[in-house]
Amino acid sequence: MGRPWTLLLFLFLFFFLFLFLFFWSTLSLRPPFLGFDPLFSELTAPSSNQLPDFPCKPPYQNSFPFCDTSLPTPTRAHSLVSLLTLPEKISLLSNNASGIPRLGIPPYEWWSESLHGIAANGPGVSFNGTIPSATSFPQIIVQAASFNRSLWSSVASAIAVEARAMYNVGQAGLTFWAPNINIFRDPRWGRGQETPGEDPMLTSAFAIEYVRALQGGSWERSEEIRNGYGGQRVMSENGESHEKLMVSACCKHYTAYDLESWHNFASYNFNAVVSQQDLEDTYQPPFRSCIQRGKASCLMCSYTAVNGVPACASEELLRIARKDWGFQGYITSDCDAVATVYEYQNYTKSPEDAVADVLEAGVDINCGTYMVWKTESAVKQGKVKEKEIDRALFNLFSVQLRLGLFDGDPRRGQFGNLGPLDVCTPEHKTLALEAARQGIVLLKNDKKFLPLNKNVAETLAVIGPMASTSKLGGAYTGTPCSSKTLYEELKQYVKKISYAPGCIDVSCLSDVAFDDAIRTAKEADYVVIFAGIDTTQEAEELDRPSLLLPGKQASLVSSVAAASKCPLILVLTGGGPLDVSFAEANPRIASILWVGYPGEAGGKALAEIIFGEANPGGRLPMTWYPESFTRVSMTDMRMRADPTRDYPGRTYRFYTGSRIYGFGHGLSYSTFSYQFLSAPSKIGLSGTLKDGSVKGTLKQEGKQVYSVDYIPVDEMQNCISLRFSVQVSVVNYGKLDGSHVVMLFSRGPEGLKGSPEIQLIGFDRLHTVSYKHTETSFLVNPCEHLSVVDEYGKRILPLGNHILSLGDIDHIVSVEID
């Protein structure tokens, strides 16, 4: 009698073990409370040393219509949506989307990060596996300082390769929430380091290059050359493009987001009051470019409310992206940004109303758990229609289909051959070094103190706590391929080197270690001192209260400068601008270099520049303001100056106050001269005006607002016919070859109220040879580059003289109706 009971007990236990394992693998383990849980993100990180799970496995799961690769992407997406139950649909509205076992669909983590290399911030990425590290390129603000489109594209393309390689071994997803293309409006902003700077034209250009390359444009072009094929493009019935993606890029944070924590304001509860003029002129252009020209497949709406409406609940903002700009992809909320609509912004009366509002506005997925827990009750209350959920899932599945996630075994796909050998390659490491070289900015160089002669500099003292850290990536950084400190790299260039931190850490609250630093400096031929900020001073959820060096750093720099045998070299770290006017004015500080967050190869790049193996050519992508600017409220979103209220304006385009260093500032070991080789002196508009358009001035209530004539751009046709080329020559009068950034600016006719003081309309980075000239050209579209935005948010093209500036020379182009 014992055996049957034993057998039954065994079967009973086996049955419950089976049920436990089944539910463990299929249920979403989200915590039933507000928002995204950091602990949960660790639990749901991809497991290591395994291939990614995938749908459409033969022989049974590949028979669904959504697995049929011969069908158009929209057809497959609609088919998949139609097979789901309402509870299954709702379970997919989170970044950690549940699996659908009955359809053979595994769970998927939408949140991976790749700002300047594969990052560990999102739960979609793990470095605990076959691939323990990834190339860490310079932070975006440093890359922007290179003003080099081809460099940005190359870096993003390398990141895409490493992303696919990590996906293929189960250590990453394929949807990456980068780049950050918000305008660096206020120098105190903790996340300014993540952006390409303060200029909308520069930021737009970066967005286009980064997104195109990350999504596979550069890789596919190179593969086409090598293998004779290119990327697949599928057209839907209505002519929409559904191009295949290598990985998906996401432009964030839409829009007017640039505050973390200032006084009683935080990103979660801040209402950005922005004029239509500033929206059209400054905040929106990067997102429009990212969508229309970069073809981004993802858009992230921000925590911020814009003019009283949370961005993720704004039908107007999301309609502009989809309808006006033609966005094709999915829209995700920032993490917990659906919850904040109710919990922090107090915009709705209930959580269900918040879910209803964001879905109706056009959000497709919630980073966090709020929609998973609140959507079902919103449906039952009649606040959310199932068709809105279907639309969201259609957008999500369309992107996954474009990524090939429903095409079967990824190892047999176009990118299936990528793996561990494609990460941290010699080529990618070299690219990281070149990116750092091009992004480092020489701010001051009295009497050509730099470069140092390594045959003469026998002893070198290195001072400052940042010299001994290998954490050189800034925010959104992963595990770098290699990590050497700035001190270790300088060691390679001198016979004897000594080090003293001077401060215990970057905060530098004590001068107890000053004496040792001063003694060390006195004993050396040359001194390099590191000062500045790091991510303990500026970061997500951390804005700076001051633009001065933290703590007693300035005192340390001045004390060491006074004691050293000869003037010292000051190296500044961090992404945000610093008021170092004391150093700029001190003759004992001969040279100042800004390295920002230079990435894994930053130390080597800096050493090469200090000792003349590389010629610096970086330019600041943001204005460096004096400390007095901190009196300006961070919540004031206005760009234009208002003298009647003692408001100085923001960014180089509108700021009227004093500067420590201006936008575009950057020195070289060479000197350069410019010449306009060819450019028109007159542009006639008569052939581009629509019927009925007339010359006029903008009037309001019978009063003239502008004192110059203009043409509304939307009343012009065939603007392309107005485009003209500006051919320029650059001569390098130095002894060193090197790359040089050429920047073309424009100034409109005087008297046009609210127009920029000056604005960037073109840039190029050239390789120049010592004592030889190099030529380049800029294509100028007057409707785009010479137009301005009026107070109603409309673009107008002023008539009259427009001044093109190149260095210290000008050229006048007259825009006329002939």
pLDDT tens per residue across span 314-341: 999 999 999 999 999 999 999 999 999 9
Mean pLDDT in residue range 576-590? 98
Please give the Cα distance from 681 to 626 (Å, whole number): 39
Contacts of 324 (CB under 8 A, 6+ apart): none
Q: Please report, to the nearest 10 degrees, the dihedral formed by the alpha carbons of residues 373, 375, 378, 380 taken in order.
A: -90
What is residue 792's DSSP assignment?
Answer: T
Please give the Cα distance from 664 to 651 (Å, whole number): 12
Please give the Cα distance from 531 to 517 (Å, whole number): 13
Q: Is the peptide bond before 451 cis (omega within 30 degrees of 0)?
A: yes
Using DSSP, state whether 367 is helix, strand or coil.
coil
Element holding 780 (H helix, E strand) = strand 773-780
Amino acid identity for residue 335 in this structure: C
What is residue 51's DSSP assignment?
Answer: P
pLDDT of 48 > 90? The answer is no
Span of 52-56, 73-77, 569-573, 648-652 with lowest mean pLDDT: 52-56
Cα within 13 Å of Cα(275), Cβ side: 16
* Catalytic member of 199, 334, 407, 422: 334
pLDDT attached to residue 52: 87
Q: Please report, to the nearest 10 degrees, the dihedral formed by the alpha carbons of residues 591, 597, 598, 604 taken in order.
A: 60
* φ/ψ (deg, to 5) at 78: -60, -40
pLDDT of 40 > 80? The answer is no
Between these two residues, 234 and 329, which has the higher pLDDT value? Answer: 329
pLDDT of 275 > 80? The answer is yes
As to burial, measured by CB atoms within 10 angstroms (0-12 exposed, 13-18 middle, 19+ buried), residue 599 is: buried
pLDDT attached to residue 750: 86
778, 726 Cβ separation under 8 angstroms: yes
* φ/ψ (deg, to 5) at 140: -60, -40
Please give the Cα distance from 529 to 150 (Å, whole number): 33
Q: For 507-525, what is each residue's pLDDT tens digit?
A: 999 999 999 999 999 999 9
As to burial, measured by CB atoms within 10 angstroms (0-12 exposed, 13-18 middle, 19+ buried), residue 774 is: middle
As to burial, measured by CB atoms within 10 angstroms (0-12 exposed, 13-18 middle, 19+ buried), residue 440 is: buried
268, 340 Cβ separation under 8 angstroms: yes
Amino acid identity for residue 395 in this structure: N
Q: Please report, to the nearest 10 degrees, the dihedral formed by the alpha carbons of residues 515, 520, 522, 525 taken in order.
A: -160
Q: What are the Cα distances from residue 377, in Å, to 82, 99, 326, 381, 786? A: 21, 21, 32, 6, 52
- Least Cα distance to 329 among 369, 303, 305, 362 occurs for 362
pLDDT of 395 > 90? The answer is yes
Please give the Cα distance from 339 to 779 (Å, whole number): 46
Using DSSP, state whether 93 is helix, strand or coil.
coil
Quickly count: other Cβ atoms within 10 Å of residue 131's Cβ: 26
pLDDT attached to residue 453: 93
Q: For 778-794, what is each residue's pLDDT tens digit?
A: 999 999 999 999 999 99
* 334 tagged catalytic: yes
Q: What are the Cα distances from residue 260, in Å, to 187, 199, 263, 435, 754? A: 12, 20, 10, 28, 28
pLDDT attached to residue 227: 38
First to last CA, the chain: 109
427, 603 Cβ separation under 8 angstroms: no
When pLDDT is cut at 50, 70 and 90, the band that residue 634 belongs to is very high
Q: What are the Cα distances from residue 691, in Å, to 638, 687, 694, 716, 728? A: 36, 10, 9, 9, 37
pLDDT attached to residue 371: 97
Quickly count: other Cβ atoms within 10 Å of residue 121's Cβ: 18
pLDDT attached to residue 242: 62
Q: Please report, to the nearest 10 degrees, the dihedral formed by the alpha carbons of residues 704, 710, 716, 718 taken in order.
A: -170
Mean pLDDT in residue range 158-187? 98
Q: For 74-123, what is each residue's pLDDT tens digit?
A: 999 999 999 999 999 999 999 999 999 999 999 999 999 999 999 999 99
As to burial, measured by CB atoms within 10 angstroms (0-12 exposed, 13-18 middle, 19+ buried), residue 781 is: middle
Contacts of 634 (CB under 8 A, 6+ apart): 186, 188, 189, 259, 262, 263, 265, 543
Most confident by average pLDDT, 222-226, 236-240, 474-478: 474-478
Phi-psi region of 221 (alpha: psi -120 to 50; beta: other; left: phi over 0): alpha
Tokens at residue 648, please? 């100085």
Average pLDDT, the chain: 90
- Least Cα distance to 341 among 323, 324, 353 occurs for 353
pLDDT of 22 > 60? The answer is no
Tokens at residue 493, please? 């260039």
Mean pLDDT in residue range 583-602? 98
Please give the Cα distance from 369 to 394 (Å, whole number): 20
Q: For 640-667, what is each residue's pLDDT tens digit?
A: 999 999 999 999 999 999 999 999 999 9
When pLDDT is cut at 50, 70 and 90, the band that residue 696 belongs to is very low
Using DSSP, state whether 231 is helix, strand or coil.
coil
When pLDDT is cut at 50, 70 and 90, the band that residue 603 belongs to is very high
pLDDT attached to residue 689: 83
pLDDT of 226 > 80? The answer is no
When pLDDT is cut at 50, 70 and 90, the band that residue 697 belongs to is very low
